Amino acid sequence: MLAPTFTTSAYVLHNLGLAAGFGGSLFGQTALNPSVKLISNKQERAKIVNAAWNGFNIISMLGIGTTALTWFAGRSRIDGRAISSDARKLVIAKDVLLGVTLLTGLVNTVTGGFLAKRSLKDGVPMDSGFKAAPEAPQDVQRATTLVNSLGVVSIIAMAGLIGVSTWLDNTASKSFKWNALARFLP
């Protein structure tokens, strides 16, 4: 039997959104942020790291937004009870993890925009992508700390989303009730 086209397309978009958000964030935290130390001028570090993150933030928000739209569209019709009580718990866990991911992403996008404007306008110095230089204004130091802390929380939440999604998919595939219901999906 062929998989329903609409449901399969939504599932692919859901996973691509997670992949973009998780992969880009992981790259930024583990490779980009530490690497900007190679740039000798502290103000240029800020310009480059902020331009890179702001460029990625657009992709990330589109990806995570797509994940959220596809999840909540399907979630509005199926709450996990049709699969099992364990699946219901997984659905709730996924709701929470997706909420954390959306919230941290939104705060980081707004705060990252603030940092980018400051770095372009005022030439804010940075020690690395993780840390504003000691001579940077206090608001920039606080914003940099916030962005990096929430970035780690976001990566953990997205890893949890990927894990819970996989666990939920495996649970659903073993459910007689779900397999019967899935035949009627678009």
pLDDT of the chain, 186 residues: tens digit per residue: 445 666 778 888 999 999 999 999 999 999 999 999 999 999 999 999 988 998 999 999 999 999 999 888 877 766 665 667 787 888 899 999 999 999 999 999 999 999 989 888 888 899 998 899 999 999 999 999 999 999 999 999 999 999 999 888 777 666 555 554 555 555
Question: Which pLDDT belongs to residue 6?
Answer: 64
- Residue 126 has φ and ψ, to the nearest 5°, of -130, 145
Residues of the domain holding 12: 5-182
Amino acid at 159: A
Total count of domains within the chain: 1
Burial class (CB in 10 A: 0-12, 13-18, 19+), 144: buried
C-alpha angle 7-170-67 in degrees, rounded to nearest 5: 45
**DSSP 3-state of 132:** strand
Question: Which pLDDT belongs to residue 82?
Answer: 63
Determine how many CB atoms are found less than 10 A away from the CB of residue 3.
Answer: 11
Please measure the distance between the N-terminal and C-terminal CA atoms of the chain and give it in whole angstroms. 13
Question: Which pLDDT belongs to residue 74?
Answer: 76
Question: Which pLDDT belongs to residue 4?
Answer: 63
- The whole-model pTM stands at 0.85
**Residue 65 to residues 31, 69, 81, 106, 179: CA-CA distances in angstroms?**
24, 6, 25, 10, 28
